[in-house]
Structure 1
């Protein structure tokens, strides 16, 4: 089943319908809508700030770092729209809120561009906490469990390939 109904429920904050769709098991929570740059239901819920929908989707397996065609994660959309509560929900669920898009922009940079000061403040706080955690792990002789996702790895290789082509 294509499942664009689930995108609509997430984008309108229709929690009851969304819950019904999620629990039916008939919908792919990570399906990207091709008409909207591959936005998933989680992208929509974050952009609109429907925190309960965000939590429901994450609890049932929505990928918190799903990417659109330009590499935007749900956190990018929340940051653009000034939905700090959606960013908090993502962060509380352990979803990284600092991934770079195809142009190198993090959600924090997007929040800065759109003058979403509350989002900027929160994302700076998250970055500070992550840096402190990495420093503590390093002092303890442990490695960070943060990994590049497949999209970032592919994009980095692509950028390197283009850069080396220009240098030739």
Structure 2
């Protein structure tokens, strides 16, 4: 686990910012000892919305998955971190991808009883579909390339 992974997990915004400014570690670095979690996975799981934001602003890819196919949205759904899910959705991050077992974040939220997350993810499902359709027709926006 890198220093960036640790700082993201505990919510140390200043340290995360410093590491990113100094290019000390890639925000997409996968930790092989923890199922290939990135710092973004850790921040999402812990509900660190501001750290999720700064990681994405510094190049973290919210579509990267762990060994079992989990995105940051799966971890936020498991932990009931609605603000993280809202932020991920606001930047068109994938919040409805299936993991290796066919489970989407909404199912994970249902399993753990996070009804607020379930309601949000069900409402957002249509917007996610529309975004994918737009990308297929027009291509990705410049910041997705």
Normalising by structure 1, we get a TM-score of 0.77
| 1:60 aligned onto 2:58 | yes
Q: How far 1:145 moved relative to its partner?
A: 1.3
1:82 to 80, 83, 106: 80
Give unmatched runs, 5+ long, in structure 1.
138-142, 148-168
Deviation string, structure 1 residues 79-120 (Cα, Å, up to 9, x no partner): 000001001111111112001100010001111111111110
What is the alpha-carbon distance in structure 1 between the residues aligned to residue 88 and residue 68 of structure 2?
A: 20
- Pick 1 or 2: higher relative contact order, CA cutoff 8 A, min separation 6: 2
| Partner residue, 2:142 | none
Following TM superposition, the consecutive aligned residue runs of length 4 or more in structure 1 with deviations greater than 4 angstroms are: none
Q: How far 1:128 moved relative to its partner?
A: 2.9
- Report the RMSD for the aligned CA atoms in angstroms: 1.9
Give the paired residue count. 137
Q: How far 1:129 moved relative to its partner?
A: 3.0
> Within 5 Å, which residues of 2 pair with 1:1-168?
4-131=2-129, 133=130, 143-145=133-135
Give unmatched runs, 5+ long, in structure 2.
138-145
Structure-2 change in CA distance of 1:93 and 1:24 (3 Å):
same
Contact 2:7 2:15 in 1 (8 A): yes
